[in-house]
């Protein structure tokens, strides 16, 4: 690899063997070297291969004045998420999570802790991501001797939700509350409790998560099954009315109108939940 630009003593921008730009991390890798120099393989600790040019530029700018250990720990957390949990993540996670962890550590060392108002909802609706947040907090405590509060595990979890679903982090902040409100609409509209231990409940939660993902990414299903949708309206009027109320909520709070196809599939999942409760 050949150095294209020295970002700091521990981070350089370089060109790999195929001529593609990469960001390379390693202790002292940029010290006393100039553009055009060959990188010693023994100094390479991590290579960031970022496909998006804009994300690559953001990463280089972010890493300029950041402690190497903060960069390494963020990279290790992301690697854990990919290898152990098999998460498919948008590469922007390298920017957003690294920036968040660096800022969180700085705040904690100054005695400033932020309360996570969505912590309960994150635990409930995004348990895998929350466990990942707890893993991150534990790793930071062990390696950097910085004890972040549980609230930070929730904030870190949202960065992974954002990277998984391809949403903006500001949208990801709304997702847990949207999930809670939609469940309250179902229980209120149909007058039932929901057994969170059932497979139908899990499938419903998963469907709503991906529905909200499509809402924020503006990738909603198009109307192609109008006859089936009308049949659902006739056969399951209460469930269909509940779906329409959810659609109204989404339009009001996310500024997106659900297609008839989306309402139909929502009805099917709500019907499965109600059948499980009736049984």
- Which CATH number fits the domain that encloses residue 138? 1.10.1790.10
Instruction: Say which residue, 214 or 279, is predicted with more confidence.
Output: 214
- At 21, is the pLDDT very low, low, confident or very high (cuts 50, 70, 90)? very high
Same domain, 21 and 44: yes
DSSP secondary-structure letter at 64?
T
Same domain, 95 and 185: no
Residue 82 domain-assigned (yes or no): yes
User: Is residue 223 pLDDT above 80, yes or no?
Assistant: no
Can you give the CATH number for the domain in which 26 is found?
Answer: 2.30.24.10
- CA dist 86 and 89 (Å) reads 9
- Residue 2 φ/ψ, nearest 5 degrees: -115, 130
User: Is residue 247 pLDDT above 90, yes or no?
Assistant: yes
C-alpha distances out from residue 202 to 126, 189, 276, Å: 11, 20, 12
Same domain, 160 and 203: no
Same domain, 194 and 152: no
User: Is residue 225 pLDDT above 80, yes or no?
Assistant: no
Residue 58 domain-assigned (yes or no): no
pLDDT at position 62 is 94
Residue 137 domain-assigned (yes or no): yes
Residue 161 domain-assigned (yes or no): yes
Measured N-to-C along each axis, helices 237-254 and 169-190 cross at an angle, to the nearest 10 degrees, of 150
Same domain, 118 and 158: yes
How many structural domains is the chain composed of?
Answer: 3
Residue 56 domain-assigned (yes or no): no
Same domain, 268 and 198: yes
User: Is residue 249 pLDDT above 70, yes or no?
Assistant: yes
**What DSSP assignment string belongs to 78-122?**
HHHHHHHS-----TTHHHHHHHHHHHHHHHHHTT-----TTHHHH
Same domain, 140 and 208: no
278 contacts 258 by C-beta, under 8 angstroms: no
Per the prediction, the chain carries an average pLDDT of 93
Same domain, 232 and 213: yes
Minimal CA–CA distance to 204: which of 216, 195, 214?
Answer: 195
The torsion angle over the Cα atoms of residues 217, 272, 263 and 207, rounded to 10 degrees, is 0
C-alpha distances out from residue 107 to 31, 34, 174, Å: 29, 35, 24
Residue 201 domain-assigned (yes or no): yes
E strand residue ranges, 1-86: 2-8, 11-15, 21-25, 46-48
pLDDT at position 192 is 87
User: Is residue 139 pLDDT above 70, yes or no?
Assistant: yes
Residue 57 domain-assigned (yes or no): no
Same domain, 180 and 267: yes
pLDDT at position 199 is 87
Same domain, 109 and 131: yes
Q: What is the pTM of this model?
A: 0.87
pLDDT at position 278 is 66
Same domain, 112 and 37: no
Residue 59 domain-assigned (yes or no): no
> Once rounded to an integer, what is the mean pLDDT over residues 73-99?
94
> Once rounded to an integer, what is the mean pLDDT over residues 194-205?
89
Minimal CA–CA distance to 266: which of 212, 227, 191, 197?
Answer: 212
Same domain, 243 and 271: yes
% residues pLDDT > 70 (the chain): 97
Which domain, by its residues, includes 41? 1-51
> Once rounded to an integer, what is the mean pLDDT over residues 24-43?
94
């Amino acid at each position: 690899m050949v150095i294209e630009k020295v970002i700091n003593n521990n981070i350089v921008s370089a060109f790999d063997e195929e001529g593609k730009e990469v960001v390379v991390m390693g202790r002292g890798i940029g010290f006393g070297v100039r553009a055009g120099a060959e990188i010693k393989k023994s100094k390479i600790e991590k290579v960031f291969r970022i496909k998006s040019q804009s994300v690559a530029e953001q990463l280089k700018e972010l890493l300029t004045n950041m402690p190497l250990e903060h960069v390494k720990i963020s990279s290790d957390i992301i690697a854990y998420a990919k290898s152990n949990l098999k998460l498919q993540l948008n590469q922007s996670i390298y920017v957003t999570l690294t920036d968040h962890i660096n800022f969180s550590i700085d705040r904690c060392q100054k005695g400033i802790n932020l309360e996570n108002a969505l912590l309960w909802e994150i635990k409930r609706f995004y348990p895998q991501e929350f466990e990942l947040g707890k893993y991150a907090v534990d790793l930071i405590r062990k390696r950097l001797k910085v004890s972040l509060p549980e609230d930070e595990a929730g904030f870190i979890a949202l960065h992974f939700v954002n990277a998984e679903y391809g949403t903006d982090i500001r949208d990801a902040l709304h997702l847990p509350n949207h999930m809670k409100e939609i469940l309250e609409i179902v229980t209120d509209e149909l007058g039932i409790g929901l057994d969170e231990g059932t497979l139908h409940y899990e499938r419903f939660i998963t469907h709503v998560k991906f529905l909200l993902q499509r809402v924020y990414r503006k990738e909603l299903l198009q109307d192609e099954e109008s006859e089936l949708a009308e049949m659902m309206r006739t056969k399951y009027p209460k469930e269909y009315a509940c779906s329409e109320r959810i659609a109204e909520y989404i339009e009001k709070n996310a500024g997106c109108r659900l297609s008839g196809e989306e309402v139909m599939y929502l009805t099917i999942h709500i019907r499965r939940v109600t059948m499980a409760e009736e049984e």
